[in-house]
Copies of this chain bind each other. A is one copy, B any other.
Amino acid sequence: MVGIKDVAKLAGVSVSTVSNVLNNKKNVSDETREKIIKICKELSYQPNAAGKSLKSGKNDTILFNFSDFDRSFYLKIINGISDYVNNNDFDLIICTDKSCEKYMNNSLTGGSIILDKKMQDDTLIRIASENYPIVVLDRIMNNPYIKSVVVNNYDPMFEMIQGVIDRGYRSFGFVGGPEETADNKERYRAFRDALEVNHIQFLQKSYFAGNYREKSGYNAAKILMLSRELPDCLVCANDNMAIGAMKAFQENGIRVPEDIAVTGFDNCDLAEAMGLTTVSIPNYERGYIAARYLIENIRGQRNVETFKISAKIIFRSSVGIKK
């Protein structure tokens, strides 16, 4: 591996001079500078990031952490992060595992964006500091070095359900996501509130516990179909589960929306193709904004107020007009 020493030797100068050139210091003659730059190119010298950050403690790399590979919109979040990061001369590394804790210190990365729920609050609180800010997605934390970027789940879910009720639907089933997650709680609460405002009763037996995966929506629909009477509409806490449910209905000759309407949440790629009524979350923007706040915080412009992103309701053919 070619190091700064090799460059120095070939140029007939000291390592400090090479370092000065590479870091754009003023105190180098143009002649020396050019010679060194030329040699670096010839050797295709790449500064060793380990040595660099070990010494300087400063860092132009941020970390993104996620781990759920079933949710394809995560790529859009990454895209948003990547774009902002590149436009601001930072680098991005992504970790898919809890081991990323190893990289969460300011000699390797300058800050993190955390999406993975497996990364626990107290771990983040321990790691976050004045010179290691963190941005968390989809969870709200109160800490002077941690900023939350969350989607406003409540308002669009409430409005979507109100829209469904306005279209004549009167009885509902609900397929929930992981019960401990904040977004699932918020979506369910909005659903219940919308029903209550409209004086519609909701029975606990109409609640199905899922895990945001397609299979769990499929299973919920299977169970639902065992009951004597279907609700007018099955509300699912995300698209994956809604799609699973639609597949189950299809397999059993139950028509959507004639026999039962279905709604989701996320507006994933499949939602459009399947005509699923859902809430569209601006994922690219979510990543972009998270990266912006993180880098601003790294640069000392501290701001840890929770940021709420608004989402958009999309009515498609999975909800019709109930006569």
Which A residues fall within an 8 A CB radius of B?
Answer: 1, 44, 46-51, 53-54, 67, 69-70, 72, 74-76, 78-79, 82, 86, 91-97, 99-108, 126, 129, 269-270, 273-274
Given A50-B54, A69-B82, A270-B269, A97–B102 Cβ distance below 8 Å?
A: no
Contacts of A96 in B (CB 8 A): 78, 82, 92, 94
Contact A93 B94 (CB under 8 A): yes
Complex CA–CA separation, A211 to B117 (angstroms): 36
- Copy tally for this chain in the complex stands at 2
A95-B92 in contact given A49-B108, A105-B1 (Cβ < 8 Å): yes
Chain B residue contacts of A51, Cβ below 8 A: 50, 54, 107
Most buried by B among A44, A82, A86, A273: A273
Q: Which of B76, B91, B102, B107 touches A91 (beta carbons < 8 Å)? A: B102
Q: Ordered nearest first, which 5 A-B pairs have the shortest CB separation?
A: A69-B79, A72-B72, A94-B94, A273-B273, A50-B54
- Which residue in chain B gives the minimum CB-CB distance to A77? B69
Bound state CA distance, A265 and B174, in angstroms?
36
Report Cα–Cα, A49/B99, bound state, in Å. 11
User: From A48, which residue of chain B is reached at the shortest CB distance?
Assistant: B107
Given A50-B50, A270-B270, CB of A1 within 8 Å of CB of B107: yes
The contact of A76 among B44, B49, B69, B107, by CB within 8 Å, is B69
Instruction: Tell me which residues across on chain B come within 8 A of A82, comparing CB atoms.
Output: 67, 69, 96-97
Can you show 25 pairs from A to B with CB atoms below 8 A apart? A1-B129, A44-B126, A46-B105, A50-B51, A51-B107, A54-B54, A69-B75, A69-B78, A69-B82, A70-B75, A72-B72, A72-B75, A72-B269, A78-B96, A82-B96, A86-B97, A91-B95, A91-B99, A91-B102, A92-B96, A92-B97, A93-B94, A93-B95, A94-B95, A269-B270
> In the bound complex, how far is the Cα of B70 from the Cα of A78, in angstroms?
11
* CA–CA, A211 and B72, complex, Å: 21
A270 to B107, CA, bound (A): 42
B269 touches A48 (CB 8 A): no
Determine the distance from Cα of A72 to Cα of B44 in the docked complex, in whole angstroms: 34
Q: In angstroms, how far is the closest chain B Cβ from the Cβ of A134?
A: 14
Inter-chain CA distance A79–B68, complex, in Å, is: 9
Give every chain B residue within 8 A of A50 (Cβ-Cβ): 49-51, 53-54, 107-108
